[in-house]
Structure 1
Amino acid sequence: MSQGFQRQPLILASASAARRALMAGVGLTVELHPADLDEEAIRQAHADLSPARQAVQLAEAKARAVSEVHPGVLVLGGDQILEDDGAVVSKADDLAAVADRLRGFRGRSHHLHSGAALARDGQIVWSAVDTAALTVRDFSDAWLETYLAAEGPALTSVVGGYRLEGPGAQLFRRIQGDYFTILGLPLWAVLDALRDQGVIDR
Structure 2
Amino acid sequence: MPLLLASTSRYRRELLERLRLPFHIARPEVDEMPREGETVPAMAVRLAHAKAAAIAAQHPGAWVLGSDQAAELDGAPLGKPGQREAAIAQLSAMAGRQVRFHTAVALVRDEEALTTHDITTVHFRSLAPAEIERYVDAEQPFDCAGSFKSEGLGIALFDAIESTDPTALVGLPLIAVTRMLREAGFDLP
TM-score, normalised to structure 2's length? 0.94
Shift of 1:93: 3.6
Distance 2:188 2:175 in 1: 14
Larger radius of gyration: 1
Q: Is the 8 A contact 1:117 1:124 kept in 2?
A: no
Q: Is the 8 A contact 1:83 1:112 kept in 2?
A: yes
SS in 1 for 2:185: coil
Q: Counterpart amino acid of 2:149?
A: R
Shift of 1:163: 0.6
1:129 aligns with 2:117: yes
Deviations 1:37-74 (A, max 9, x none): 1111xx31xx4343112211101001111001111110
1:101 aligns with 2:101: no
1:67 alignment partner in structure 2: 56
Residue ranges of structure 2 left out of the alignment (5+ in a row): none
TM-score, normalised to structure 1's length? 0.88
Deviations 1:179-199 (A, max 9, x none): 111111222111111111112
1:179 aligns with 2:174: no
Q: Is the 8 A contact 2:178 2:188 kept in 1?
A: no
1:162 alignment partner in structure 2: 148
Superposed CA RMSD in Å reads 1.4
Q: Is the 8 A contact 1:9 1:199 kept in 2?
A: no
Structure 1 segments of 4+ aligned residues over 4 angstroms from their partners: none
Shift of 1:142: 2.5
Distance 2:79 2:15 in 1: 23
1:194 aligns with 2:181: yes
* Structure with more helix by fraction: 1
1:5 alignment partner in structure 2: none
Q: Is the 8 A contact 1:108 1:135 kept in 2?
A: yes
Distance 2:112 2:78 in 1: 27
1:50 alignment partner in structure 2: 39
